[in-house]
Structure 1
């Protein structure tokens, strides 16, 4: 059963996502040399996520299995928005160099696998669900490895300002993303240590910061970097023009 307070929380989430989409749309009219795809990614994320949570706010997007409410719309949200977040972080790391498609597609594939195994885990009985949860966690660790080894090396090879920005955005996203498997396993889907309402609230607060919050942090930093001279061999405007 979905509680009225949950619907209010979900409506609030959808409103925040709408506000985020408007901000990124307005910023796109004055790009400050930041590539257009960065704004497109930042815009799509809250639009898609807001639509998914809007369905839950209207009493849709969930099923009841063995007395357990499963918000499958969350997974429909995550399977689109979390790969986009990783692409945004990866293109930030590759800001002034050619984009490594193997890394980009590898991150997307690992992320989709992680989300789908999470959905299967939510639909599975115990102890099978812990098998699927563990597989999802393994994919999550692979993603973290790519971020903190491969992407960090690429970012470091360019200029100190970009590297500092990458470390800040990667750290921000990493801390928040560790919250997802943690909340999942302690919530109604896992051990059941938290209530359904608390689970809904936390899975609204966390995505607000990891989606709109991350895009605000990333885009604002890129706008500063591309708007002033940085790097070893030239200014950011020349570098950004070379990769657009």
Structure 2
């Protein structure tokens, strides 16, 4: 049998070039399992019961003394709504990250990792952390200017954290993360320095209490970005581990914080802030709506 050499040339020329990138394994989906979903429901119930308790505690004191109670009850109420949303499958999105495995002698391998991002959590934090800061600021007697700076820095911190969670590449993700850390340092400065200076003018018990509860809060808040770094950031921790870690912190930072604040506040009835004016009496009522300390002693 005689083979035409020109036919071999034509056949070989029809072979497509070897691709420089070849598909890799199937896409990876990182999502919550049964443990994570049960954790969401447990925290949802804890937030609901805590909210009911805080509202009940508010009705036990005069309206002038309810400021801390109402703020704290709102914190756990927003947290309850957030955890209910996450537990029922709402407030969740997937962030896609392209993973390229580079090789020297063979084409690169490409696959995609899709991880659940609970954006409801960031909505929760953007509402609850300013209220929590307001609790601490009013306890210390922080000025209005410093309160505004702390709250704005806090909101920037939460929003940049959410943008980082949805970042499509490392430069974008860790850039947003760095902005959030800078904003957090501003919050720390307002509480640790300006807050402590303002509390120095209070009575000894209030000063000591502010130092303890503010320190407790800042320690917890410092752990949040660490968890973010190993979860949404580096994606080393599983989604279940992320949920459990944030759940523990949220319970400590909201219900535990709230019960500690309100029980101590109620035990200092004679020196706790009293809000008159519009808060207590509406328009045309008594007072100018200012926060006054020691009203019970003045009226005695």
Q: Same fold (TM over 0.5)?
A: yes
More helix by share: 1
| Kept in 2: contact 1:33–1:226 (CA 8 A) | no
Q: Counterpart of 1:184?
A: 228
Query: Which position in structure 1 is the counterpart of 2:73?
Result: 43
* Residue 113 of structure 2 is aligned to residue 80 of structure 1: no
More strand by share: 2
Please identify runs of 4+ aligned residues in structure 1 that moved more than 6 A: none
Greater shift, 213-222 or 67-76, is seen at 213-222
Structure 2 gap segments, 5+ residues each: 1-30, 97-113, 273-292
Q: Per-residue displacement from partner, 1:86-114 (whole Å, max 9, x unpaired)?
A: 000001111xxxx6221221111000000
Which position in structure 2 is the counterpart of 1:232? none
In 1, are the aligned partners of 2:270 and 2:297 still within 8 Å (CA)? no
2:60 is matched with 30
Deviation at 1:33, TM superposition (A): 8.5
1:163 maps to which of 195, 201, 207: 207
Two-structure CA RMSD over aligned residues (Å): 2.0
Deviations 1:196-237 (A, max 9, x none): 1111111111001001111111111111122579xxxxx945
1:20 partnered with 2:78: no
Alignment partner of 1:226: what SS?
coil
| Bigger radius of gyration | 2
Q: CA deviation at 1:77?
A: 0.3
TM-score (norm 1): 0.89
Which of 244, 259, 264 matches 1:216? 259
Residue 153 of structure 1 is matched in structure 2 by 197
CA contact (8 A) 2:270 2:296 kept: no
Alignment partner of 1:127: what SS?
A: helix
Residue number in structure 1 paired with 2:28: none
Residues 122-133 of structure 1 mapped to structure 2, 5 A cutoff: 122-124=165-167, 125-133=169-177
Alignment gaps of 5+ in structure 1: 230-234
In the superposition, relative to structure 1, how do residues 151 and 33 fare at CA in structure 2: closer, same or farther (>3 Å)? farther
Correspondence for 2:163 among 90, 110, 120: 120
- Aligned-partner Cα distance in 2 for 1:142–1:34: 31
Deviations 1:4-23 (A, max 9, x none): 22211101110000111011
